[in-house]
Amino acid sequence: MVAAQIASRGIKNRRVLAVMAGMPREWFLPPHLQREAYDDAPLPIGSGQAISQPYIVALMTASLAPGRRDRVLEIGTGSGYQAAILARLVTGGRVYTIERRPDLLVEAEERFRRLSLTNIETRMGDGAVGWPDAAPFDGILVTAAAPRAPAALLEQLAPGGRMVIPIGDLGAQELVIYQSTVSGLEERSAGSVRFVPLISRFAFAEREWG
Ligand code: SAH
């Protein structure tokens, strides 16, 4: 999977490739989908949600490029796959992950235990407000699409930190990378993506989804 679907499409970060090669994606899927775990596709994880296509997980992780001692916030725990990959990259740091659906979060927590990932903190709730008591974060990864970057998340970015977030409407989004610099916030796009929506009464009015 890593060679055929990820490295071949230009993801070069060796640590990201190595961690993904060592992560059993089938453990994050319902039993009837485990045979498809290494397909080049997103897959349903229940409750209308999805585990992203492996290439997109790699693209987002490589765009965030966390350092070993970084504190990283993920919004949208889902299956826990992305958080588990982040946890193995920030071995001397910590991953904070927020999910609004309790059923999904309970299953993800079980997977983190099974993988002995002890550097992940979980929280149930609206991730658009961030995790103020653990802020600031060196990296923030949002794995659900938003009409714009939630202000609370940008505020919780450490100086020099990076936020990766799909921005757009329900049909398609751009993967946007915000980089905090001494002269302000820089922004670039890493390509088109398609995510389920970030649901937040706090951050967006329903009509902003167009
Ligand atoms: N990162 C996941 C995939 C995420 S799918 C993985 O690796 O499997 C998007 C997830 O975001 C869904 O589980 C959805 O319930 C969650 N979500 C949507 N809006 C949210 C919000 N405001 N706060 C936290 N989680 C949210």
Tell me whether residue 2 is in a domain. no
- Across the chain, the runs of DSSP E, i.e. the strands, are 43-46, 49-51, 71-75, 94-99, 120-124, 137-142, 157-168, 173-181, 184-193
What is the distance in A from the centroid of ligand 1 to the CA of 80? 10
- The structure tokens listed for 199 are 């649901």
Tell me whether residue 163 is in a domain. yes
Q: What is the pLDDT of residues 141-151, one digit of tens each?
A: 999 999 999 99
Tell me whether residue 10 is in a domain. no
Q: Domain count of the chain?
A: 1
Measured by CA distance, the residue closest to atom 18 of ligand 1 is 198
Sign of torsion over alpha carbons 161, 165, 168, 173 = positive
- Any idea what the CATH number is for the domain that residue 158 is in? 3.40.50.150
Tell me whether residue 37 is in a domain. no
Q: What's the pTM?
A: 0.97
Domain span at 167:
56-209
Considering only CA atoms, give the Rg of the chain. Answer: 16
Tell me whether residue 107 is in a domain. yes
Tell me whether residue 3 is in a domain. no
Q: What is the pLDDT of residues 17-60, one digit of tens each?
A: 999 999 999 999 999 999 999 999 999 998 889 999 999 999 99
Is 179 near ligand 1, meaning CB less than 6 Å away? Answer: no
- The residues that are catalytic are 52
Tell me whether residue 43 is in a domain. no
